[in-house]
Amino acid sequence: MSIVTKRPPIKETVGAQYYCFGTKEEDSTEFTGKYEESVTKTNTVKTVTVTENGESTPVYASGDVYDTADNTATHSIEVETVAVVASDLDKMRGETVTDSGLVITNMSPERPYFAYGKVVKLKGGHVRYDWYPKCKLVENSDETSTKEESFSEQNETMTITAYPFNDAGDIKVKYDSTYGLASWLTEDLFFSKPILSEEEFLALKPTESGE
């Protein structure tokens, strides 16, 4: 038996965030796994906090705990950002936008699914890319203060819920460069479209001719 000492890289900063709205079938609000053509990137993130929401249920047998059944139902993603794209936030909130540009808020809107992605930069040039393919905005805060002599940030916070996107219960697709695999991958490639499977990931790989 040997002891192996490992030195994982520490986090340096959060990078850009990405999102892509899903498309739906006519007269249906169900998640389809299909998306709009364009992915939006913003470099406005201050912090991102991800919390796994689930429960562990002990399984009893012969008077003792035989096993534990773990169930992670959703992930809660809290994003603090210095600015938001107003039209995209309104779309996430399910707002009604009239032809004249008036935005009408409904108390029980039909909020669309979208994919959410983020970048974590690690020391030593390493990175982690995350896609959450099936998300909805559940809450956002918008506090505005008066201008004072010294500048103070007036940030917004969005709370996003990520749901399982397939029957297997998968919630997140992640690439971590510390594995030393897929050296061909770039941030632009990974976030060029939401990824739901390994086949879709490998399809991003450029051909040897670069075409």
Give residue-wise pLDDT tens across range 144-194.
555 555 555 678 999 999 999 999 999 999 999 999 899 999 999 999 999
Q: 210 pLDDT exceeds 60?
A: no
Strand partners, 130: 118, 174
Which is it for the CA torsion 100, 106, 108, 111, positive or negative? positive
211 DSSP assignment: -
Give residue-wise pLDDT tens across range 20-56.
999 988 878 889 999 999 999 999 999 999 998 876 6
The domain ranges of the chain are 11-83+112-202
pLDDT band at 202 (very low <50, low <70, confident <90, very high): very high
Report residue 54: phi and psi, to 5°: -165, -170
